[in-house]
Amino acid sequence: MTKKFFAASLAFIAVISPAAVSASVKWGSAALRQPAEWYASKEAREDADSVLTYQSDVGAWPKNTDLFVPVTDATVADIQKEGKANTIDNGATTTPIRFIALVAAGGAKDAKYREAVLRGVDYLLASQYANGGFPQFYPLRESGYYSHITYNDDAMINALELLRDVAQANPSFAFVDKRRRERARDAVARGIDVILKTQVRQDGKLTAWCAQHDEVTLAPAWARAYEPPSLSGDESVGIVRFLMAIEKPSPQVVTAIESAVSWFRAVPITGQRLESVRREDGRNERFLVPDPAAPPLWARFYELGTNRPLYMDRDSKPHYDFSEIGYERRSGYNYHGTWPASLLEHDYPAWRARIGSPQVSP
């Protein structure tokens, strides 16, 4: 975010009172799940006005920021210092676009809401690589993993789902013009293409995806020191759900889904339960303990080539025993979860019922 943007944003503070902070709805995904009539309320418009002040000059929003709290000098300084601006990480940009679109669709007559949505859509379209992938931050940063194609925390999938809603002129995006809808449709098609190209093949079989892939070679890539090139038991679930929502999937998409489902079924951790102990510093230290009756768990990272659960501390050394990871990471990172469970139990059977018995291509 530029100094010019923040100067413009701070000018809004004078007209947004502390009362504009919603007392009943908190910023985040909950802001997208309110009754339809709420988005036509004065409260919703005041919240939307606050969200607008955080939109940057390139059309994006910062992450990890309560956008219902009126922007201040301290907020601006924190966004700049922590490098939070202009990203699709952690729901940034896509959540604000959806929220403002709901307020606009709720009857707000001021054109500023629709204009903000269009600028946000334009940002997503501009940030997409020609190969269909999305970086975590745009404009691109000079160094680091931020330019990789980012499935991590569903960043790219959030962008593609929003653009798909735009392309289909879903109710809250019905005002978007035909040209942008066509561009959004093309962006989604290219996104699907790179998803298919980045699905990792091992021993001739398609498996899952890494949380991030090199934006040029499309190979699995490093992120932070404890996030190695690997197969993701978490992000791969969001990718499969996105592919399952395609109304008429191609044989290649069907193969991608079936292959990922087969991989999920092959790699769960069984006979162990994830247990937490709350320490004096308030953090939960996690352990795996034997339990024959425990439901299946999946690892966040699986080693490429072996499918072994993989764990790392900040020294980037591989471990295969969770107990070898230090307290700081075991208490501060989710190395295990049940992410694929509902996909396998509910989503996949429903998808198979919808499309019939698919013919999986080799």
Phi and psi of 274, rounded to 5°?
-85, 120
Predicted confidence (pLDDT) at residue 19 exceeds the cutoff of 50 = no
Q: Distance between CA atoms of 277 and 284, rounded to whole angstroms? A: 5
**Structure tokens that stand for 328 in this block:** 């700081």
Q: Distance between CA atoms of 50 and 31, rounded to whole angstroms? A: 13
Lowest mean pLDDT among 2-16, 200-214, 296-310, 329-343: 2-16
pLDDT greater at residue 15 or residue 42? 42
CA 96 to chain CA mean position, Å: 13
The residue ranges of every structural domain in the chain are 1-198, 199-362
Q: Is 175 in contact with 186 (CB distance < 8 Å)?
A: no
Share of the chain above pLDDT 70, in %: 92
Instruction: Give the three-class secondary structure for 284.
Output: strand
Q: Is 254 in contact with 355 (CB distance < 8 Å)?
A: yes
> Which residues are known catalytic residues?
90, 224
CATH number of the domain at 199-362, out of 3.40.50.1260, 1.50.10.20, 3.20.20.70, 3.30.1050.10? 1.50.10.20
pLDDT digits (tens, 9 = 90+) for 232-268: 999 999 999 999 999 999 999 999 999 999 999 999 9
User: Residue 182: how many CA atoms within 13 Å on its side-chain side?
Assistant: 3
Could you say which architecture CATH assigns to the domain 1-198? Alpha/alpha barrel (1.50)
The two domains 1-198 and 199-362 share their CATH topology (first three levels equal) = yes
pLDDT greater at residue 362 or residue 162? 162
- In the prediction, which pLDDT does 357 show? 67
Phi and psi of 206, rounded to 5°?
-70, 145
Q: Is 267 in contact with 233 (CB distance < 8 Å)?
A: yes
Instruction: Give the three-class secondary structure for 166.
Output: helix
Calculated CA dihedral for residues 239, 244, 248, 249, nearest 10 degrees: 50
Sole residue written with tokens 């809808």:
181
Q: What is the mean pLDDT of the chain?
A: 92
- In the prediction, which pLDDT does 6 show? 44
Residue 44, number of CB atoms within 10 A of its CB: 22
- The 8-class DSSP code of residue 205 comes to E
CA 210 to chain CA mean position, Å: 14
Burial of 235 (0-12, 13-18, 19+ CB in 10 A): buried
Q: Distance between CA atoms of 258 and 265, rounded to whole angstroms? A: 11
**Structure tokens that stand for 154 in this block:** 């569903």
Residue at 93: amino acid letter: T
Q: Alpha-carbon torsion 122, 124, 130, 131, what sign?
A: negative
Phi and psi of 152, rounded to 5°?
-50, 135
Q: Confidence class of residue 18 from pLDDT cuts 50, 70 and 90?
A: very low
Q: Confidence class of residue 24 from pLDDT cuts 50, 70 and 90?
A: confident
What is the pLDDT averaged over residues 322-330? 95
Predicted confidence (pLDDT) at residue 361 exceeds the cutoff of 80 = no
Q: Distance between CA atoms of 82 and 76, rounded to whole angstroms? A: 10
- In the prediction, which pLDDT does 3 show? 40
